[in-house]
Chain A
């Protein structure tokens, strides 16, 4: 256990559905991240939050909408997704990244399948 939990672990949704992914960290970290991992592609950074403020949006389509109500929780709201959005979505957290020495702790991921 890394101290980062994600729910659900598996999700199958139609293209017209709306669903949300949840991430919670119990490590007292101030930064949280969403990544997308597709087969045979590098891990893609999607969003970064520092102290609940979004500091990075890596050109992610608007059908992905993040929410960070506090430093311990991070959501990814999904709507009108495409089949190519099927992937493993990973959440991570870290200490406030104002130094060059920090590591990320990852959750187990949500395996998303869009039909």
Chain B
């Protein structure tokens, strides 16, 4: 399937540390997006990286994309307790169809 697969499934860190999550996918894509979901709520878009981009920054977020390895990483620097959530990558190869993974559950301990 084309679904993105996040790794690790769960991550627990101390406040102030950096958190790195990875995403792998199987087919060619137009873009890859990262979303955050607080428990039992809807997803919130964080950042989009196009297939011709290699790195993108937004505040404390840094996303990389390696299309040769079909992988992406999301780095959250100087994490805060409020960053505790599940993080999903979503790949889009053609219009209208997004494929999400099962997510990485991040717990930031104060």
- Which residues of A come within 8 Å of B, CB atoms? 2, 4, 6, 31, 33, 35, 40-43, 45, 48, 50, 55-56, 88, 90, 92, 97-101, 103-109, 111
Q: A104-B45, A106-B44, A109-B42 are in contact. Are A50 and B31 (CB under 8 A)?
A: no
Contact B3 A103 (CB under 8 A): no
Work out how many contacts link A and B, with CB atoms closer than 8 A.
Answer: 65
Extra 14 A-B pairs, beta carbons < 8 Å, given A6-B42, A100-B31, A105-B45: A4-B42, A42-B101, A43-B88, A45-B97, A48-B97, A56-B97, A88-B40, A100-B30, A100-B92, A101-B31, A103-B33, A103-B45, A103-B48, A104-B90
- How far does the alpha carbon of A109 sit from the alpha carbon of B39 in the complex, in Å? 11
B1-50 interface (Cβ within 8 A of A): 3, 30-31, 33, 35, 40-45, 48, 50
Chain B residues with CB below 8 A from A101, complex form:
31, 48, 50
Chain B interface residue number, banded? 20 to 34
By beta carbon, the residue of chain B nearest A10 is B40
A112 to chain B, nearest CB (A): 12
Q: A42-B3, A43-B88 are in contact. Are A31 and B96 (CB under 8 A)?
A: yes
Query: Cβ of B87 < 8 Å from any Cβ of A?
Result: no
A24 to chain B, nearest CB (A): 13
Contact B42 A108 (CB under 8 A): yes
Contact B42 A90 (CB under 8 A): yes
Q: Which of these, A4, A50, A88, contacts B96 with CB under 8 Å?
A: A50
Q: Which of these, B31, B92, B95, B102, contacts A41 with CB under 8 Å?
A: B102
13 contacts between A and B (CB under 8 A): A35-B100, A40-B102, A41-B102, A48-B97, A50-B96, A97-B95, A98-B95, A100-B51, A104-B45, A104-B98, A106-B35, A108-B42, A111-B40
